[in-house]
Amino acid sequence: MINDGGAIVVIIGAPGSGKTRAGKRLAKILDAPLIDTDKVVVASHGPISELFAEFGEEYFREREREAVADALLQPAVVTLGGGAVLNLETRVDLASHRVVQLTMSKATARLRIAGSSRPLAKNADEWEKLVRERRPLYDELSSLTIDTSLMPMEKVAREIADWLGSQQQ
Ligand SMILES: Nc1ncnc2c1ncn2[C@@H]1O[C@H](COP(=O)(O)OP(=O)(O)O)[C@@H](O)[C@H]1O
Ligand SMILES: O=C(O)C1=C[C@@H](OP(=O)(O)O)[C@@H](O)[C@H](O)C1
Ligand SMILES: [Mg+2]
């Protein structure tokens, strides 16, 4: 059963796969608000790399869970951080939402995450290991998967919008 009062759609998937960027485009297409849970955490608690360095991953995951729980109640396009699905309560919540997964190849990851400040995916090998472990969760939770490796962001956003349209008929 879809929770019609809450998030319009939730975008999950690998770090760097384009969730935040495609979500922003999608929100424009739908003329809806965008909530990126990483941005919510940063606005309240400071940069993610600093939270990891000062307080550790568990502290970040707790703050992330708070942001996710709140975001899923809002009528918005919601983009999660790649590791948000590690939280069991979040996985239970996602079962009643429309969830899209974005993926990308390792070759694309090498280009997109170069020089990024993601503490758990500092290079393509770390990224690959993390995604291999999480992939079963991403697959289980999502109803649509889009490989963004070679796809412009605008097209990614359009594909999600078209899918949402087909769901509402
Ligand atoms: N479809 C795309 N084509 C090319 N570059 C992209 C695409 N989607 C995202 N990017 C780039 O990849 C990086 C990560 O995008 P982002 O939206 O932050 O991913 P995520 O939120 O999944 O970690 C950014 O530099 C962004 O400009
Ligand atoms: O995969 C992860 O564990 C993380 C992904 C990041 O978000 P994006 O997936 O938006 O890059 C951010 O939440 C944090 O660095 C941890
Ligand atoms: Mg993001």
pLDDT in tens, 119-143: 888 889 999 999 999 999 999 999 9
**Which H or E element spans position 102?**
strand 99-103
pLDDT of res. 169: 60
How long a stretch of residues is the chain? 169
pLDDT for 34-70, tens place per residue? Answer: 999 999 999 999 999 999 999 999 999 999 999 999 9
What is the CB neighbour count within 10 angstroms for residue 72? 21
Copy the structure tokens of residue 82.
């790649």
Which of 13-17, 91-95, 117-121 has the weakest average pLDDT?
117-121
Q: Cβ(120) to ligand 2 under 6 A?
A: yes
The structural domains of the chain, with segments of one domain joined by +, span 9-167
Smallest-distance ligand from the CA of 138: 2
Which of 11, 17, 21, 37 should be mutated for ligand 1, with most atoms under 8 A from CB? 21
pLDDT at position 3, please? 66
In terms of CATH, what superfamily is 9-167?
P-loop containing nucleotide triphosphate hydrolases (3.40.50.300)
The proportion of the chain whose per-residue pLDDT surpasses 90, expressed as a percent, equals 89
